[in-house]
Structure 1
């Protein structure tokens, strides 16, 4: 992240420079260009963003036995802006906002390839209190492996950003986060209670990991009076990184009832409406990733991920199992610039027995600033 000298701010807007005398401004982000050749056995992509990165819910049974797609995209590029202000009590106030262009609407690929900016992060932190939108406290960002395909083993990792209020004291963080229940014929039902998360950092020798807990009220708002229903959901996650010399082993394991929105990019619905009751879905997911450094400029990562879901017998749609494997080679001639190539394969099974396989060759160039 680059710092912006105060003299430049002063020349642009003197009042801002005066009012921000104790504030440090910085900006950062990256430019990322991806090329993907994907083939699907008995399947296809349901809509746009599954063409940009692996998302199990987007891979669906197709009408043709085999399909293939070649895509070029720069929409995962991003930009962020950060301020750190020293205040009278000796503490600091930090603000952060970040945008990218992924999963949004915009111009088509015929002429412009234009895309609408998308909010990723927007938060302010004072001392131990953070308020705003950022990564869920249930997620360990440091456990994500280095891959070309954006998230990589997306079926098997906790990956979610949302508005929250978080308090951190030492290695313990507790947050109240935006509630949202998926399934039961409605993806927009919020209960009366926020999602509660707690995480604890554990460091020992070469191990750096977190243990996290999630507690949720899952809800369904029926069309008629008296149709509303609620149930409780919970989840546990252990994720981290183990250093093996210069190499590293990253891992994540998650289990829960009603945690579908947090794991696998929403591949599993949180609940199903069974009669007048809500039944939470069971989700088990895990990945392991090993990164080996061939030299100071070359490295490779191999990843295996899995997800398994168990629904009530009344459920007729949804992902039941998903697995993926990938291996890549990354080259950084200088620290800020990375060229990469990746081979991956994924298999997605759905309720009713439909089985789709995706194979993808991925080339990427990324310049971080």
Structure 2
């Protein structure tokens, strides 16, 4: 009997069983490892989900914070554009102005403004120690603008209450239209411009200045950004004469630098009384110089013969002699002043004005009342303006001046005195 064969079979069977058991063991271990990896992967996925959720929350919180900081300002509705029935845009402006004056010595007209050319002579019935006030210089204005054939048309209407014999009636200050280089209507005279007068509280200005507004047709030619020429035909409305032609005026403006401007002016006008006529003429020169920022020097000069309609406080431009012929007055005037801007709210001005008339004996002899015509006029003033807020301004001013007449009063005096303290309160809108 061969014993080797059963033994080999058993050995083979045992090996197969061992291999089978080992394979099962390996498979089990592999499955366990795979389950661990799957579980780990699930945990990592869950962790990633949690991180994403946290990021969403943080993003939302950040966006909220940014929105709170960068939230745009509330939308402000723009002021509606005001339009006329014809479609022109317009802007309303003006002020409420109260003037008061304590007059130690001064003129007789019941108003708190300049009357230097007619103050009573010393020793005559005067107007001393009087308080005067008015709101007549209150203004109301409209600025217009419209488009016409690719050209902008502008206009202005401005009124106050300084009209009439007592200077308390509504009157037109400005009423004109600008079209290109043309101006038609009433505004500041092209000859007697107020640009170079030192600042005053007095609404009628002081000696050497002019506040003349005339109906006119004006044309401006620009030679360069710094230089222009303005010519005009004006109606000066001279009540002393009859006119058949307008006054012709010319003004050359030049800017030497940002702080230095000058203006040269000329005027010519026919004066007629009955059948006699004379030519009136005048020249003027004005300058404005910013010495340093905040300090401005102004000066204005006139030489005029035969006219009293443009420059303020003059004698009659022409008078009639006994034979009916005309004789003309001739004068020189100057005003100069320094304005200092102390800060945004406070400024002040020192000013001086002087006017002297030729002593033409024919003119003097033709005068009906020589005490009412002047040989010399002068005034000096100092003022301070305070603006606590943009629409409000308050001013205080002291002025002293004298006039010397051609003729003497019964007591022999030829001198009259203007001695006043002026105050003003203005609300601009």
- With the length of structure 1 as denominator, give the TM-score of the two structures: 0.84
SS across alignment from 1:209: strand
Change in 2 beyond 3 A, CA 1:4/1:229: farther
SS of 2:129's partner is strand
Checking the alignment, whether the CA contact within 8 Å between 2:107 and 2:418 is kept in structure 1 is no
SS across alignment from 2:195: helix
Of 336, 354, 359, the match for 1:288: 336
Q: How far is 1:116 from its partner?
A: 2.5
Distance in structure 2 (CA, Å) of the matches to 1:273 and 1:189: 11
Instruction: Find out whether 1:332 has 2:363 as its counterpart.
Output: no
Structure-2 change in CA distance of 1:4 and 1:66 (3 Å):
same
* 188-197 or 282-291, larger mean C-alpha shift: 188-197
**Is the aligned partner of 1:77 residue 2:138?**
yes
1:28 counterpart = 2:88: no
CA drift at 1:150 = 1.8
Tell me if 1:5 matches 2:80: yes
Higher helix share: 2
Structure 1 segments unaligned to the other structure (5+ residues): 107-113, 182-186, 222-227
Matched, 1:117 2:170: yes
Q: Does the 8 Å CA contact 1:128/1:168 hold for their aligned counterparts? A: yes
Aligned to 1:53: 113
* Corresponding residue of 1:243: 290
Instruction: Please give the TM-score of this superposition, normalised by the length of structure 2.
Output: 0.73
Contact conserved, 2:379 with 2:401, CA < 8 A, in 1?
Answer: yes
Q: Distance in 2 between matches of 1:201 and 1:58?
A: 34
Out of 284, 303, 308, the residue aligned to residue 255 of structure 1 is 303
Q: In the TM superposition, what is the alpha-carbon distance from 1:336 to its structure 2 partner?
A: 2.6
Larger radius of gyration: 2
Gaps of 5+ in 2: 1-77, 223-227, 409-413
The aligned residue for residue 396 of structure 2 is 341
Report the Cα distance in structure 1 between the residues aligned to 2:175 and 2:104, rounded to whole angstroms: 37
Q: Secondary structure at the match of 1:314?
A: helix
Q: How far apart in 2 are the matches of 1:47 and 1:151?
A: 13
Give how far 1:105 is off: 5.7
Q: Secondary structure at the match of 1:366?
A: strand
Asked whether the equivalents of residues 193 and 212 of structure 2 are also in contact (C-alpha less than 8 Å), the reply is no
Matches within 5 A, 1:194-209: 194-205=246-257, 206-209=259-262
Paired position in structure 1 for 2:233 = 176
Which of 150, 156, 169 is matched with 2:208 structurally? Answer: 156
Distance 1:194-1:159 versus aligned 2 partners, 3 A rule: same
Find the counterpart in structure 2 of residue 110 from structure 1. none
User: What's the RMSD between the two structures over aligned residues?
Assistant: 2.2
Distance 2:394 2:284 in 1: 32
Q: Distance in 1 between matches of 2:144 and 2:332?
A: 39
Aligned to 2:415: 355
Provide the rounded CA distance (Å) in 1 between the counterparts of 2:213 and 2:236.
12
Q: Pick from 124, 137, 155 the counterpart of residue 63 of structure 1.
A: 124
Q: Is the 8 A contact 2:120 2:126 kept in 1?
A: no
